[in-house]
Structures are given as structure tokens and as C-alpha cells.
């Protein structure tokens, strides 16, 4: 089971070997890997080389290391989307063949902050409507959502019914979201959100911050979505110019 010598650095060979073993079913999701001593002996490398490989595999979310317990194969993300595609959470869950759902947590009216005045290009006395929700897939919470919209953009009859906010905006407010400017940030354990998503202490979060604009380039919806990193992955198509 030891790796073959080639021109690449040893830790890169170890990474490739462990990934191949996971792909081939030698190690399955959530299975505990052999100890560092056993694994380094099997692969024929030093423990220092193995630790460097495991560090990178952990950064890539291939494995999870639990202090004092061991190293485990991470579960593959159930949902994947190109970051260049403006998909709602509802669509992502449906495309994975699962049933989307919503747990409504709260709604409130707030006066805009200085940052929000710049984000929405609005006045200091404007109010925001803020929704706080959990999105579920087959009844399991997978995303925490915090959405903000200017109250003046919404009709008096506007109400949240648990469906996609994109659909509600288009139907009830005649607002069509055309594009968004997005930022992704990794986040470790969050004292409020991680328990709501039923995350293990080792499970990181992916935070997607998005300002959505309508067809006239007007800022409409600001969203903070906290995704379970072991359930979601995002990718981008890059073209050479």
C-alpha cells in the first residue's frame, strides 16, 4: 500500500493516494482513518510528511480531525452550484432531488445603519424589513438565512409564506432580481448559528454575502447565508482571456 516514488514532493503523493482510496471505497464517508503511526507505515512516509498531507486535506474539507479522537473522512457535499449562477437555495435543494423547507425564526423592522445606507444607496431614515430563517432539505436544517430589504420597496400586502424570496419579490412586489455581487468567507463554529444548523463543533460554515440588484441596477435584497460546509460546495468557471 506504500506510495511510489516520483518527481513530486512526498506529501503531494500522500494527498493523491488518500483521495484515491476514498474515491475507490477503501475509506468511506465518516469512517475513521488508521492512526498516524499506522498510516505513515502503510504509505512508507515519515509522520511529518503525513501530517502535512493531512493538514492540506483538512483545509480542503476532505477529512476532519478531532483532537484526541482521530481523523475521519468528511461527508461529500450534497449540494453544489456554480458561484456564477444566481440560484436560490430552494433551487439548489430541488436540483439535488430533495424537498426544500423553511423554519421561520423572526421578522423585524429596523432603521438602516451607516453601512446599510451605502449598501442600499438609501436615506438615513429609511427602514429595513429583516427576515431570519432556516432552510431545510428533507427536514434537515442546512442553511441559516438573514435577508434584508427596504420597506419602501415592498407593497403593504407583502408577506412571507415560506417560499423562495426571489419568487415572492417577483409576484408580490413586481421586482425581478437580475444579478448579485457575492462574497464567500469561511467561518468556524458560530455560537448562535452552528447549534441551529445542528453542526458538530468541527463543522465549518461557508458564509455567502450577496447584494442583489434588479434590472435597473437598483440594490434590492441583501442576504447573509450560512451554509454547512459538509453539505454545500461552490465552484466557479474561469476562462482564459
Segment 157-177 shows an average pLDDT of: 81
Residues 101, 220 share a domain: yes
Q: Is the pLDDT of residue 209 over 70?
A: yes
Q: Is the pLDDT of residue 1 over 70?
A: no
13: β partners: none
Between CA 71 and CA 10 the distance in angstroms is 20
The set of cell numbers assigned to 193 is 448559528
Residues 68, 139 share a domain: no
Domain total in the chain? 2
Q: Is the pLDDT of residue 139 over 80?
A: yes
Domain boundary among 28, 49, 73: 73
Q: What is the pLDDT of residue 2?
A: 54
Q: Tell me the pLDDT tens digit for each residue of 15-74.
A: 999 999 988 889 888 789 999 999 999 999 999 999 999 999 988 778 888 878 889 888
Domain boundary among 53, 73, 93: 73
Residues 124, 47 share a domain: no
Identity of the highest mean pLDDT range in 139-148, 154-163, 166-175: 139-148
Residue 203 resides in a domain? yes
Residue 165 backbone phi and psi in degrees, to 5: -65, -30
Q: Per the confidence metrics, is the pTM higher than 0.75?
A: no
Q: Is the pLDDT of residue 238 over 70?
A: no
Q: What is the DSSP string of 117-137?
A: HHHHT--TT-EEEEEEEEEEE
Residue 238 backbone phi and psi in degrees, to 5: -110, 130
Residues 125, 24 share a domain: no
Between CA 142 and CA 98 the distance in angstroms is 12
Residue 240 resides in a domain? no
Residue 48 resides in a domain? yes
DSSP state for residue 152 in the 8-state scheme: G
| More confidently predicted of 163 and 220 | 220
In Å, what is the CA distance from 20 to each residue of 13, 16, 69?
10, 6, 24
Residues 120, 215 share a domain: yes
Q: What is the pLDDT of residue 77?
A: 61
Task: Supply the CATH number for residue 229's domain.
Answer: 3.40.1410.10
Residues 95, 50 share a domain: no
Q: Is the pLDDT of residue 80 over 70?
A: no
Residues 107, 53 share a domain: no
Q: Is the pLDDT of residue 135 over 80?
A: yes
Pairing status of strand 79-82 against strand 232-235: parallel
Residue 226 resides in a domain? yes
Between CA 160 and CA 141 the distance in angstroms is 19
Do 92 and 106 touch, CB atoms closer than 8 A?
no
> 80-89, 117-126, 147-156 — which is least confidently predicted?
80-89
Segment 92-114 shows an average pLDDT of: 89
Q: Is the pLDDT of residue 8 over 70?
A: no
Residues 114, 183 share a domain: yes
Residue 114 resides in a domain? yes
Residue 1 resides in a domain? no
Range of the domain at 40: 10-73
Residues 95, 64 share a domain: no
Residues 89, 69 share a domain: no
Q: Tell me the pLDDT tens digit for each residue of 83-95.
A: 555 677 888 888 8
Q: What is the DSSP string of 181-194?
A: EEEEEEE---TTHH
Residues 175, 223 share a domain: yes
Residue 30 resides in a domain? yes
Q: What is the pLDDT of residue 52?
A: 93
> 87-101, 152-166, 187-201 — which is least confidently predicted?
152-166
What is the number of other CB atoms lying within 10 angstroms of the CB of residue 203?
19
Q: Is the pLDDT of residue 224 over 90?
A: yes
Q: What is the pLDDT of residue 130?
A: 94
Segment 123-141 shows an average pLDDT of: 93
Residue 18 resides in a domain? yes
| More confidently predicted of 138 and 3 | 138
Domain boundary among 41, 73, 105: 73
Residues 228, 141 share a domain: yes
Q: What is the pLDDT of residue 196?
A: 96
Task: Supply the CATH number for residue 50's domain.
Answer: 1.10.10.10
Amino acid at each position: 500500500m506504500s506510495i511510489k516514488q516520483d518527481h513530486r514532493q512526498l506529501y503531494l503523493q500522500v494527498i493523491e493516494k488518500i483521495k484515491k482510496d476514498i474515491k475507490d471505497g477503501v475509506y468511506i464517508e465518516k469512517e475513521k482513518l488508521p492512526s498516524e503511526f499506522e498510516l505513515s507505515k502503510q504509505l512508507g512516509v515519515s509522520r511529518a510528511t503525513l501530517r502535512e498531507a493531512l493538514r492540506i486535506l483538512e483545509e480542503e474539507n476532505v477529512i476532519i480531525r478531532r483532537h484526541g479522537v482521530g481523523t475521519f473522512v468528511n461527508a461529500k457535499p450534497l449540494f453544489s452550484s456554480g458561484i456564477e449562477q444566481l440560484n436560490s437555495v430552494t433551487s439548489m435543494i430541488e436540483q439535488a432531488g430533495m424537498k426544500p423547507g423553511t423554519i421561520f425564526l423572526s421578522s423585524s423592522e429596523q432603521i438602516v445603519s451607516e453601512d446599510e445606507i451605502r449598501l442600499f444607496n438609501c436615506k438615513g431614515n429609511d427602514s429595513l424589513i429583516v427576515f431570519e430563517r432556516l432552510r431545510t432539505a428533507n427536514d434537515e436544517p442546512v442553511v441559516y438565512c438573514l435577508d434584508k430589504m427596504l420597506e419602501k420597496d415592498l407593497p403593504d400586502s407583502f408577506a412571507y409564506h415560506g417560499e423562495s424570496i426571489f419568487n415572492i419579490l417577483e409576484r408580490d412586489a413586481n421586482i425581478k432580481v437580475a444579478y448579485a455581487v457575492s462574497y464567500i468567507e469561511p467561518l468556524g463554529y458560530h455560537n448562535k448559528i452552528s447549534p441551529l444548523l445542528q453542526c458538530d463543533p468541527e463543522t465549518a460554515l461557508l458564509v455567502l454575502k450577496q447584494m442583489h440588484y434588479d434590472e435597473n441596477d437598483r440594490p434590492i435584497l441583501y442576504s447573509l447565508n450560512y451554509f454547512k460546509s459538509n453539505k454545500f460546495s461552490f465552484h466557479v468557471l474561469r476562462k482564459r482571456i
